[in-house]
Amino acid sequence: MITMYKIYSFVCFIFLITTTSCISNKDVVYLQDNPNNPKSFVEPFVQKTYRIQSNDVISIRIKALDQKLVEMFNVSTSGSAPTSSQGLYFDGYTVDQHGNIRIPVLGEVAVLGLTLDEIRVKIEKQLLTDYFNKEADVFVIAKLAGLRYTINGEIRAPGTQTLFQDKVTILEAIANSGDIIITGNRKDVLVVRQFPHGTEMHSIDLTSIDAMKSPYYYVQPNDYIYIKPIKQKNWGVGTNGLQSFTTIVSVFSLLLTTYLLIKK
C-alpha cells in the first residue's frame, strides 16, 4: 500500500511539473485579441514626429536645376545619396553634443530638437537668402541616415541593426533579427529609449493586441530592446511537455540507480 501511494505521488509530481514547465501557446502568439471583444480593429497609437537628438546621423542632399551650382554644398560630389550604412556614416552629418551639424560652405547649422521637415526648410531658406534666387529651383532632401537600434537577449540574431525605413514597428525589428526564441518573454519586452531629458525604460506586452496602442510600438533611433528570459529557462526542465517529462524521468532514474548501488 505504501509502495502504491509513493508511485501515485510520484506520477502526480511529474504531471504537475510537466504542466507548469510547459510554455503555453498564449505566451508565444503575438497580438492576441481579447476574447470578450469581437472587434479585431485596434486604433494604433499616433506616432509623434521624431525630433533630432545628439549623435543622430542625417543624410542631406541639396539639388538644383543646374546641379553644378550646388555641388560645393554636398559632401559627395556626385550628388547622390550613399546606399550603405558605412557610406552614411562617413557621408552623413552627425549631430554633435551641441546639437549642430557642419555643412560645406554653410558651416554650423543648429538642428537639435528640429524635425526633418524643419531642417529642410531651414537649409533651403538659408540657401535662397545667401546664395541663390528662386529661379535656381533649389530644394533639399533631409532624412535620417537609417533607423538604428540594438536588440539583445532571447533573440536569434542579437546585435545592432540599421533599417532604411521611415517607420519601423517593434515587431518588424524583432522579425529582422530572426524572431524571439521560444524561451523569450514576449509579455515583458523592455525598451530603453533616449530623450533630451534623459533615458526612459518601458515594458511592452507583445502578446496583447493593445501593444499597437503603445508609444513604444514604433522603434525610434538608438532604441535598445531587451528580450527577457521566461521562468522555464531558469528552471532548466524543458520548453515543452516532452522535454520536461524526459528531464524529470532522467533525473529520477539517476537517483534510483544511485540509491540501488549504495544499498548494495
At residue 40, the pLDDT reads: 61
What is residue 36's predicted lDDT score, i.e. its pLDDT? Answer: 67
Residues 110 and 177 in one domain: no
pLDDT at 17: 52
d(CA 157, CA 24): 23
Distance CA 8, CA 11 (A): 5
Q: What is the predicted pLDDT for the residue at 250?
A: 65
What's the pLDDT at 244?
A: 53
CA dist., res. 131 & res. 145, Å (int):
26
Instruction: Please indicate, yes or no, whether the overall pTM of this predicted structure exceeds 0.85.
Output: no
Residue range of the domain that includes 179: 146-233
Mean pLDDT by 10 residues, the chain (264 residues): 51 51 73 69 74 91 89 68 64 91 94 95 94 88 92 96 91 95 94 88 93 92 94 59 58 64 66
Assess if residue 240 is contained within a domain. no
On whether residue 221 sits in a domain, the answer given is yes
Which of 92, 109, 144 is a domain's end point? 144
- We report the CATH number of the domain holding residue 64 as 3.30.1950.10
> Is residue 132 in a domain?
yes
User: Taking the CA of residue 264 as centre, how many other CA atoms within 13 Å lie in the half-sphere pointing to its CB?
Assistant: 5
Residues shown for the chain: 264
197 and 222 share one domain: yes
Instruction: Verify that 125 and 188 share a domain, yes or no.
Output: no
- Position 66 scores a pLDDT of 86
Mark whether 134 and 194 lie in a shared domain: no
152 in a domain, yes or no?
yes
Domain assignment present for residue 7? The answer is: no
- Name the domain count of the chain: 2
Last residue of a domain, one of 101, 117, 144: 144
Residue where one domain finishes, among candidates 144, 169, 204: 144
The b/e string for 42-56 (b: 16+ C-beta within 10 A; e otherwise) is eeeeeeeebebbeeb
The enclosing domain of 177 has a CATH number of 3.10.560.10
C-alpha 26/C-alpha 28 separation (Å) is 6
Residue 260 is assigned to a structural domain of this protein: no
- Rounded to the nearest angstrom, the gap between the alpha carbon of residue 140 and the centroid of all alpha carbons in its chain is 29
